[in-house]
Structure 1
């Protein structure tokens, strides 16, 4: 049997990232499972939690066999299971759906960076598992009538081609902006939907954060999410499109922290990275000239916010460093 190649730098890096994200999800699920009062929601989260533990063991074994140190990630110290509910019913599955959405993107990207057969297989399995849980979350939320759907649209009856540059008009004060097309609506709707949930998540974080600097950071993040929702909703209303809304998934009035500041900061950082990626796609596929400018401005705000969070994490010793490449300059001194 042919010997396996050593892990490449890319494979080691993506396994490290996966370990961080999965241990965070493991700890958050432990809290939400304990708080769940709906049997079906609890079952979805328990099954997901069990599978995550199995995949974490797979990653540990791969790293041990390569002689690599196991990351710290997020441990029992980062979760307080018995505290009061920080979020209303339905938030747990709505949040799990968002985390699965992020994971699908990460696993697909990491799959394209893997070369060794066992690592490729791991990311294939993770992708299939993550998609399966995502589907369960969607089915559950739709059955409970809390997942809003994107706006309806009349089906096209003929193929149309843009003529001239008017199709891209967005800045001319003397010409009317065209209505948003369905591709633009898709990306804007997704941004509004995720920021509404993110705003509730970070509102809860702000209520329970221990460090004053962290609390202030979360309040700033809540205002950023609110601004994004307001700005993008305005674009919808200009085209007479109804923005998304839901009755569930709000923060309660609890001020007792279920998670450590370290975990909540990492979770927020992960959402910032996801927001930047989604924003970049929206910018690339928007053909009305005012939209990319708006999206780029939003991306700048998210990037600045995420960078500020990184500095807070480093300052408090919460920023676990990824494995480093050898510093050849240092080695030759």
Structure 2
């Protein structure tokens, strides 16, 4: 007999998150597709929609075989395809490139948590599909001249070892020049905050509940502040600033997305920023950079927690599968 092991907790977690994130992204991409006017983008948008559809169906097949309840996720009730555009077509392309990169990284990171062959095969295919989408979106951005490149520096003439601990720099005073690793993290975090800022500005304009609108406005201020801090670090180091392509946001106040969907997307941005800042601390040897990332990460963590509370208050936050509460069972038996 062929032995098929039970699905384990880490595999359930990965599948559950993939279902939630891709049902949400599918709704957003459907709206982008309905308002798109750029013929060059049609294939990329369709590829992005197909990727989300592939992930959702793959998770659904496994959960149904294992008799696991599917999460509610996001449905046609969370998107209004008759609503006018809020974001430009260029922003839609930047969003697709950003989510494709996030999907690629997530699939690669999650593979080490997976043991069962069918789940590994699913995420291996997801990795390939999202990598192809990222490359296609990037090629199109380059073709349009709108790909945001990281700063350039003069070439290094020779390799050498560090001579003393002054390379670490202090929290105050003059700092040594940035390394290419530190520059890479600063560039990535600057772009992530730029995309997040545009997204939550548009979301705050169409949010229905006042508390959601206020929360999203607060998020735009935080993203702008963080983006400014990263740019000031580059200016202080005498590094040319990378180009920015702030996306046009329309004057429409008719929401294409539910408040629930917009809050969930914002929570994903928060989680991405916290993860990226943590990685940036590990990749930054200057003490002042580590201190800055720690401070900014704490601010995002507080903002994220406030968002979770808001989602719970409105019954928008789904409970992930969890272990049996043994204590509750014992009390029930008595």
What secondary structure is seen at the aligned counterpart in 2 of 1:90?
A: helix
1:203-282 equivalences in 2 (<5 Å): 203-247=201-245, 249-282=247-280
1:267-306 equivalences in 2 (<5 Å): 267-306=265-304
Give the structure 1 partner of residue 139 of structure 2: 139
Give the structure 1 partner of residue 181 of structure 2: 183
Shift of 1:254: 1.6
Is contact 2:32–2:89 with CA below 8 Å preserved after alignment? no
Change (3 A) 1:47 1:40: same
TM-score by length of 1: 0.97
Give the structure 1 partner of residue 84 of structure 2: 84
Is contact 1:27–1:74 with CA below 8 Å preserved after alignment? yes
What secondary structure is seen at the aligned counterpart in 1 of 2:20?
A: helix
Q: Counterparts of 2:170 and 2:231 in 1: how far apart (Å)?
A: 17
Which of the numbers 319, 323, 331 marks the counterpart of 2:317? 319
Shift of 1:248: 5.1
Is contact 2:51–2:130 with CA below 8 Å preserved after alignment? no
Is contact 1:189–1:243 with CA below 8 Å preserved after alignment? no
1:120-135 equivalences in 2 (<5 Å): 120-135=120-135
Q: Counterparts of 1:11 and 1:24 in 2: how far apart (Å)?
A: 20
- Cα distance per residue 1:1-32 (max 9 Å; x no partner): 51311110111111110000010111111000
Shift of 1:257: 0.8
TM-score by length of 2: 0.96
More deviation, 254-263/36-45: 36-45
Q: Counterparts of 2:104 and 2:305 in 1: how far apart (Å)?
A: 24
Shift of 1:89: 2.7
Shift of 1:247: 3.5
Is contact 1:146–1:248 with CA below 8 Å preserved after alignment? no
Change (3 A) 1:99 1:51: closer
Is contact 2:87–2:247 with CA below 8 Å preserved after alignment? yes
What secondary structure is seen at the aligned counterpart in 2 of 1:258?
A: coil
Is contact 2:198–2:246 with CA below 8 Å preserved after alignment? no
Give the structure 2 partner of residue 38 of structure 1: 38
Is contact 2:29–2:49 with CA below 8 Å preserved after alignment? yes
Is contact 2:149–2:243 with CA below 8 Å preserved after alignment? no
Is contact 1:90–1:248 with CA below 8 Å preserved after alignment? no
Q: Counterparts of 2:52 and 2:198 in 1: how far apart (Å)?
A: 25
1:95 equivalenced with 2:95 (yes/no): yes
1:167 equivalenced with 2:148 (yes/no): no
Is contact 2:206–2:255 with CA below 8 Å preserved after alignment? yes
Give the structure 2 partner of residue 74 of structure 1: 74
Is contact 2:146–2:245 with CA below 8 Å preserved after alignment? yes
Q: Counterparts of 1:47 and 1:286 in 2: how far apart (Å)?
A: 36
Gaps of 5+ in 1: none
1:202 equivalenced with 2:200 (yes/no): yes
Shift of 1:52: 2.1
Gaps of 5+ in 2: none
Shift of 1:230: 0.8
Give the structure 2 partner of residue 118 of structure 1: 118
1:14 equivalenced with 2:27 (yes/no): no
Shift of 1:39: 1.8
